[in-house]
Structure 1
Amino acid sequence: MNDLTILNHMTSEQYLMQLQKQLEHRHLLDENRNLSLSDSSEQEFLELFFFEKIFTQDKQLSPHTIKAYRSDAKTLLIYLMDHSLSFRDIGFPEVKAYNKYIKEKYAAKSAIRKLEFFRRLLDFGYETQFYKAHLSTWISKPTSKKGHHIIEETSSEDAQTRVQVRELNQKDAEYLISFFPKIVKANRNREQLEKRNLLIAYLLYTTGLRASELLSLNWGSFRYNRQGHLYADVIGKGKKPRTIPIKDETTEVLFNYRRSLGESIDIDPEDISPLFFALYNKKEPCEHKKRLTYPALYKIVKEAVHLAGKNSNVSPHWFRHTFVTMLLENDVPLAVVKDWAGHSDISTTNIYLERVNQDNTHVHLHNVNMFR
């Protein structure tokens, strides 16, 4: 995959010449000069699939997404090896058998993702003549309720045993936030680390930012509107921009963090330095700003959860679900919540509203006079 990856760093003219040369040398063009893998090796097939469909030049994948793709590829490769199959051997019976295996082994959400990866690979194979038949048509994915639930399943034969909501109530969220600064063990930069962790907790809880969005924040991401209120401009999924209001309590924590670093609290839209960066083992914490990574953020949340003695399943994303639910519980209009959360479709936001309404049914029941 190295030769193909190098193409991403070339000019358009160099790109065309080198791509033509590589494909012609490897006999990967048919008489119509279309990409043809009918006679290619399986290694070439996989290499081009990842290059053209997964790790594309115009798409920047998060570490979480990359990890998921690797997991899906590994699942398929292990299945093929266990059954003494090659990619060339895949046909109708193999597709149906793998489909059945995935649906039985994995919960609905994971199964859907793994089968979608398989579908994309089969479609690419058909488009490039590696497969002569449109095999992906035989894939059938399980149904999964969208939203913020974890469905715990015992086995394929048994019914679902419990539905766990991936969110915190207000009391637990506020309690958990107080532990973010307490996990700091280092003496060097202790104050800065404590204030950084507290700000991470406040932003997760009061903005509903995705982990990738929070880690992408720069000091220049913040701005005041005409009324003097602080906002953050973020780039969400699909590179869609949105603006999120910042609560006064979070603003205070933000400025305290900046002061602890010896940096100005004056908003500078031109400042592209990362808001969160590694502070360990640095004599001058602001000198070399290496943006905080997702594994580091995940570790911070998990250590705080452990110290607080809360549900070990809590992850950064739980705060996002908590935020959306709390907005709806406080009668923030559905369309406004959709925009704040960056949901591509209002039906996603509506799933949260359905749960809020369901939780409030006892209010209606209480108002019914059933005993005279």
Structure 2
Amino acid sequence: MNEIIHLQKITNEQYLHDLQNKLASHNLLDENRNLSLADSSDQDLLEMFFIEKILTTNKQLSPHTLKAYRSDAKTLLIYLSEHQLAFRDIGFPEVKAYNRYIKEKYAAKSAIRKLEFFRRLLEFGYETQFYKAHLSTWISKPSSKKGHYIIKETQMRPQVRELNQKDAEQLIACFPKIVKARKNQEPLEKRNLLIAYLLYTTGIRASELLSLNWGSFRYNRQGFLYADVIGKGQKHRSIPIREETVAILMDYRRSIEEPTEIDPEDTSPLLFSIYNKKELHTEKKRLTYASLYKIVKEAVHLAGKQSSVSPHWFRHTFVTMLLENDVPLAVVKDWAGHADISTTNVYLERVNQDQTYTHLQKVNLFR
């Protein structure tokens, strides 16, 4: 994996030179100088698959996405090891057995992702002569309902992963209350409250929230505050910040003894670890997803809400509330950073379903 990371960072000239040497030393080129893994090792197959099909793309993958790919590879490797199989041993029965194993062990969305990883690996193996048969054709993925749902076999209908307005407000109020530390108690409370407001009032993804710097904020020509974020696929978008959230943001900045004037050159993290800091002006360590997740879960527990609530629930809640308040679909799509409007439309379909009772009441069925 270190070699893969190395290939990502070097120049084009170095990349060609290193790749030529690697392919030559491992005998991975056929007589036509095409990539051939017909006589290669399992390690070569997996490594070349990551280099050519995962990392060599036009989009820079997020740490979260890379972690998911590594997790999928680990799941496959553990399964093969437990059954004393090598990649060369994979055929029709092994594909069907692994397919069944994944569908039984994982929820639909996770199973779909892991089986898609497996399918792509088998496709790559066939393209490079590692496999003589088109094994990927035997993979069958489970069906999954689109959108923000939790589906359990014991449920008559899927559970929506979002909060109503009352529950959201109660949960937000618990974010500062979970702070137990006496040292830097006020900055911690204000930081946690800011986290809650940014999640709830912007629909920002957790990864985008954690990547915010003080220099990510700017005032537009009308004097309104915006946050510039980099979303999935390295796509840039601007998110307007509500007045209530602006007030909490500035209050937080004052509590950590930092200026409230916007500095576009300031690359210091907006949210950072404050525990055990003797001085607030020491080097700031950016808050991790694990820490954010813990903050949300502790607030959820304190509020007495269902334990499955995660940071992403706020995003679903925000998008639904926009559509319930008649914000145009195209505006919501751009605001939320959805790659395709069909994703946003899933929310709209459910909002329309929830409003059917209102429409029914308008109909005069009795004289």
The TM-score, its normalising length taken from structure 1, stands at 0.92
Partner of 1:36: 36
Where does residue 188 of structure 2 map in the other structure? 193
- Looking at structure 2, the residues matched to 110 and 198 of structure 1 have their Cα atoms a distance apart, in angstroms, of 32
Q: 2:282 aligns with which of 278, 283, 287?
A: 287
Instruction: Tell me the residue number matched to 1:157.
Output: none
Secondary structure of 1:286's counterpart equals: coil
Counterpart-to-counterpart distance in 2, 1:278 and 1:319: 22
The residue aligned with 2:140 is 140
- SS of match in other structure, 1:244: strand
Question: In the alignment, what sits opposite 2:17?
Answer: 17
Match of 2:263 among 245, 262, 268: 268
In 2, Cα distance between the equivalents of 1:10 and 1:233? 29
SS of the equivalent of 2:282 reads: coil
Deviates more, 1:5-14 or 1:270-279: 5-14
Q: Aligned equivalents of 1:225 and 1:11: distance in 2?
A: 38
CA distance in 2, matches of 1:218, 1:202: 16
CA separation in 2, counterparts of 1:3 and 1:322? 41
Query: Which structure 2 residues correspond to residues 117-196 of structure 1 after superposition, within 5 A?
Result: 117-154=117-154, 161-196=156-191
Please tell me the root mean square deviation across aligned C-alpha atoms, in Å.
2.0
Q: Which moved more, 1:354-363 or 1:14-23?
A: 14-23
CA–CA separation in structure 2 for the residues paired with 1:143 and 1:69: 21
**Which residue identity lines up with residue 51 of structure 1 in the other structure?**
I
Q: Does structure 2 conserve the Cα–Cα contact (< 8 Å) formed by 1:8 and 1:57?
A: no
**What is the alpha-carbon distance in structure 2 between the residues aligned to residue 354 and residue 108 of structure 1?**
21
Q: 1:298 to 1:129 in 2, by over 3 A?
A: same
Residues of 2 paired with 1:137 and 1:35: CA distance?
A: 22
Q: 1:256 aligns with which of 228, 243, 251?
A: 251
The CA deviation at 1:61 is: 4.2
* Equivalent residue number for residue 88 of structure 1: 88
* SS state at 1:178 partner: helix
Identity of aligned residues (%): 78
- Relative distance call for 1:7 and 1:365 in structure 2 (3 A) is closer
Residue type at the aligned position of 2:12: S
Separation (CA, whole Å) in 2 of partners of 1:41 and 1:162: 47
Alignment partner for residue 335 of structure 1, among 327, 330, 333? Answer: 330
Query: Letter of the aligned partner of 2:330 in structure 1?
Result: A
Q: Distance in 1 between matches of 2:122 and 2:29?
A: 19
Instruction: Give the CA deviation at 1:153.
Output: 1.9
| Deviates most, 55-64 or 126-135 | 55-64
CA distance in 1, matches of 2:92, 2:220: 58
Query: By how many angstroms is 1:3 displaced?
Result: 4.0
Greater shift, 242-251 or 24-33, is seen at 24-33
Shift of 1:4: 4.5
2:222 maps to 1:218: no
Larger displacement relative to structure 2 (95-104 or 261-270)? 95-104
Aligned residues: 367
Distance 1:56 1:273, change over 3 A: farther
Equivalent residue letter for 1:168: L
Deviations 1:25-59 (A, max 9, x none): 12122222222211111122222223333355876
Could you tell me whether the CA contact under 8 Å between 2:59 and 2:234 is conserved in 1? no
Equivalent residues of 1:153, 1:162 under 8 A apart? no
SS of residue in 1 equivalent to 2:158: strand
Is the 8 Å Cα contact of residues 228 and 239 (structure 2) preserved in structure 1? yes
Report the TM-score, using the length of structure 2 for normalisation: 0.93
5+ unaligned residues in a row in structure 2: which ranges? none
Q: 1:304-357, CA deviations, whole angstroms, 9 ceiling, x for partnerless residues? A: 111111111000000000000011111111111111001111111111111111
Residues 196-217 of structure 1: CA distance to partner in whole angstroms, max 9, x if unpaired? Answer: 1110100000000000111111
Q: CA deviation at 1:187?
A: 1.6
Deviation of the 1:9 alpha carbon: 4.1
Counterparts in 2 of 1:303 and 1:221: CA distance versus 1, 3 Å: same
Offset, 1:101: 3.4
- The amino acid that maps onto 1:231 is Y
Note the alpha carbon deviations across 1:119-155, whole angstroms, 9 max, x for none.
111122122221122222332222222111111125x
CA distance in 2, matches of 1:252, 1:265: 11
d(CA) in 1 for partners of 2:60 and 2:66? 10
Taking the aligned partners of 1:173 and 1:3, their CA distance within structure 2 comes to: 45
Q: Return the offset for 1:166.
A: 0.2
Q: State whether residues 166 and 314 of structure 1, in contact with CA within 8 Å, keep that contact through their aligned partners in structure 2.
A: yes
Unaligned runs of 5+ in 1: 155-159
Change over 3 Å in CA distance of 1:39–1:112 after alignment to 2: same
- Cα 1:139–1:362 shift into 2, 3 Å: same
C-alpha separation in 1, matches of 2:81 and 2:252:
52
Aligned counterpart, 2:363:
368
Deviates more, 1:78-87 or 1:126-135: 78-87
2:108 and 2:144 in contact (8 A); partners too: yes
The offset of 1:371, in angstroms, is 4.3
